[in-house]
Amino acid sequence: MSEIEVRIADWHQDNADLRRIRETVFIAEQSVPPELEWDADDAEAVHFLALEGGYPIGTARLLNDGHIGRVSVLRDWRGMNVGGALMKAVIEEAERRGLNEQRLTAQVHATAFYERLG
C-alpha cells in the first residue's frame, strides 16, 4: 500500500469523487436513503479526500459549527488507518479554524473505531 494522503477537497471540483465514495459506502453498503445522504450542508462544508497513489478512497466533512460527519472509506482500504488519517486531518483543520470543540455523528457499528481515536 502506498502512503495515504489526506487533503482538503473542493465540493465542486472533486464532486464526482466525493459522491462516488459516499454513494458506495452509505447508499449502496449501508442502505442510507439518498435523500438523507445529500443535504444543503455539503455546499458549505469543508470536505476532505483520502487518496492512495492519487486514487480517492475516503471522505469526511467538517461543518462550520465543528460537526464532523460523512466519514467514509471504501471497503478495500478499511483497517489500514485511512479513517484515522481522515479524522486527524479533520480535527487539525477544525482547530486551525478555531473550532476547538468538535462533535461527531456516526452509526452505532462505528463506535469502537471512534473510541480508539479518543
Nearest residue to 93 via CA among 60, 115, 70, 54 = 60
* Residues 42 and 3: beta-carbon distance below 8 Å: no
Cell numbers describing residue 33? 436513503
What's the pLDDT at 44? 96
Radius of gyration of the chain (CA): 13
Helices (H) and strands (E) in the chain, counts: 5, 5
Asked whether the predicted pLDDT for residue 9 surpasses 70, the reply is yes
- pLDDT over 70 (residue 111): no
pTM, two decimals, is 0.88
Mean of the per-residue pLDDT values of the chain: 90
Which pLDDT score, from 0 to 100, does residue 112 have? 56
Fold designation for 4-117: Aminopeptidase (3.40.630)
What is the structure's pLDDT at 109?
A: 55
Give the mean model confidence (pLDDT) for residues 19-31.
96
Neighbour tally for 46: CB within 10 Å: 18
pLDDT at 94 over 70: yes
Measured on CA atoms in the order 48, 67, 73, 1, is the torsion positive or negative? positive
Sequence spans of domains, the chain:
4-117
Q: What is the pLDDT of residues 27-83, one digit of tens each?
A: 999 999 999 999 999 999 999 999 999 999 999 999 999 999 999 999 999 999 999
Is residue 8's pLDDT more than 70?
Answer: yes
